[in-house]
Amino acid sequence: MENKKEMVVSAIENGTVIDHIPTDAVYQAIRILGLENYKDELLIGNYLASGKLGRKGIIKIKNKHFTKEEINKIALVAPFVTIINIENFKVVDKFSADIPDHVDNIVRCANPKCITNAEAVATRFEMVDKETLKMRCHYCEKFTTRETMKFIE
């Protein structure tokens, strides 16, 4: 009897593979990219062995490609993610996400008195420090950091 150590996941003909997602950020990445109700094939793998991260998550999305701006949004939770675009079963583009200069309507303002927390106003932040994810609110000018960051549900 042969001892198999790996499971084979089918390749996608066209779509996107998001690789090297920290295990605790996989479902946040899905929410940020709006994939909760995606109606085509969506493969989610988590706690997979990784030489780079120890353990990682991966998302394969059939028939969906993202803009660089869309992918950069998930850099807030997955700064070392790799994006692989597939067409006709071949890699046509591979790149890393970059932490965006502006973050709109993804994160809540940490200031409870901010207008965005009191009224139906979309949040807007300017990234002040990409290393610590320190952002300044466009409306109240208070700072939100990695430690105080809460994502809009």
pLDDT, position 2: 57
**For residue 111, what are the domain limits?**
102-144
Residue 112 has pLDDT above 90, yes or no: yes
Instruction: Express each pLDDT in 32-45 by its tens digit.
Output: 898 999 999 999 99
Reported as a single tens digit per residue, the pLDDT across 62-111 is 999 998 878 888 888 888 899 999 999 999 999 988 898 999 988 999 99
Percentage of the chain surpassing pLDDT 70?
94
Q: Where are the beta strands (DSSP E) in 22-80?
A: 42-50, 54-62
Flag whether pLDDT at 153 surpasses 80.
Answer: no
Q: What is the pLDDT of residue 56?
A: 92
* pLDDT reported for residue 58: 94
Shared domain check, 43 and 22:
yes
Q: Does residue 1 fall inside a structural domain?
A: no
- Residue 152 placed within a domain: no
Query: Is 116 found in the same domain as 61?
Result: no
84/29 same-domain check: yes
Name the band, by pLDDT with cuts 50, 70 and 90, for residue 8. Answer: low
| Residue 120 CB neighbours (<10 A) | 6
- Within this chain, do residues 65 and 86 fall inside the same structural domain, yes or no? yes
Report yes or no on 42 lying in a domain: yes
pTM for the model: 0.79
**What CATH number does the domain containing 82 carry?**
3.30.70.140
C-alpha separations of 105 from 46, 76, 109, 112, 151 in Å:
26, 13, 10, 16, 9
